[in-house]
């Protein structure tokens, strides 16, 4: 064996025995990762059809895909304080962006979906495209899987409504639990 081959063999063995030669370093920290929350809210909305204040509730699902970026889906039914039989229902989904991944989490969202409207006295029902830019504030309760939806504000647009564009807006508040 030549001297040069012996040196190469010695360097190869030295490299294999060092910690750096055994692989990659462990990560120093990990982020919060993906998670899913499911919740309910109580809602108060200005209907924009006769300027009526309607109340109701909603169920929602937030899928936080990557840290601050997620998807929200919600179904809302507004039928409380409804004189003349006017009801509004929405089924929407869209992107959501949370600004801080900590205990207090302000967010913005833009939902798209279907709005259903029951006209006065049960004369007719209609289904329309509904758009809803909005935002709000979620608060995580300590180390528990519970989130309080302190406030959620939406300004809905129903561009194809029968008597011109309908623009209901409102606020919601509720509670959610992390399920995954």
Asked if residue 104 is part of any domain, the answer here is yes
**Residue 102 pLDDT:** 76
Tokens read off for 157: 């647009």
User: Is 12 contained in some domain?
Assistant: no
Within-domain flag for 24: no
7 inside domain: no
Residue 13, in any domain of the structure: no
Distance between first and last Cα of the chain: 61
Residue 167 inside a domain? The answer is: yes
For the chain, what is the domain count?
Answer: 1
20 falls within a domain = no
Q: DSSP for 73-129, please give it.
A: EEEEEEEET-GGG-EEEEEEEEEEEES--SSEEEEEEEEEEEEEEEPGGG--EEEEE
Average pLDDT per consecutive 10 residues, the chain (180 residues; last block may be shorter)? 72 66 59 81 87 90 86 92 83 91 88 89 86 93 88 92 86 92
Residue 4 covered by a domain: no
Write the CATH number for 141: 2.40.160.20
Pairing mode, if any, of strands 69-80 and 146-155? unpaired
CA angle 68-44-50, nearest 5°? 125
Q: By residue range, what is the domain housing residue 97? A: 34-178
Task: Evaluate whether 91 touches 109 at the Cβ level (below 8 Å).
Answer: no
Q: What is the pLDDT of residue 130?
A: 93
CA distance linking residue 8 with residue 5, whole number of Å: 5
């Amino acid at each position: 064996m030549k001297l040069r081959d012996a040196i190469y063999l010695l360097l190869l063995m030295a490299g294999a025995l060092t910690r750096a030669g055994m692989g990659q370093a462990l990560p120093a920290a990990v982020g919060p990762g993906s998670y899913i929350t499911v919740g309910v809210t109580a809602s108060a909305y200005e209907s924009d059809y006769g300027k009526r204040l309607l109340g109701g509730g909603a169920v929602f699902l937030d899928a936080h895909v990557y840290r601050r970026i997620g998807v929200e889906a919600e179904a809302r039914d507004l039928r409380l304080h409804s004189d003349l039989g006017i009801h509004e229902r929405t089924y929407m989904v869209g992107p959501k962006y949370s600004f801080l991944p900590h205990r207090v989490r302000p967010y913005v969202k833009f939902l798209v979906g279907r709005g259903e409207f029951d006209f006065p006295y049960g004369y007719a029902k209609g289904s329309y495209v509904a758009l809803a830019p909005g935002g709000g504030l979620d608060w995580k309760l300590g180390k528990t899987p519970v989130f309080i939806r302190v406030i959620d504000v939406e300004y809905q647009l129903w561009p194809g409504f029968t008597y011109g564009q309908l623009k209901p807006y409102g606020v919601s508040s509720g509670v959610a639990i992390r399920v995954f």
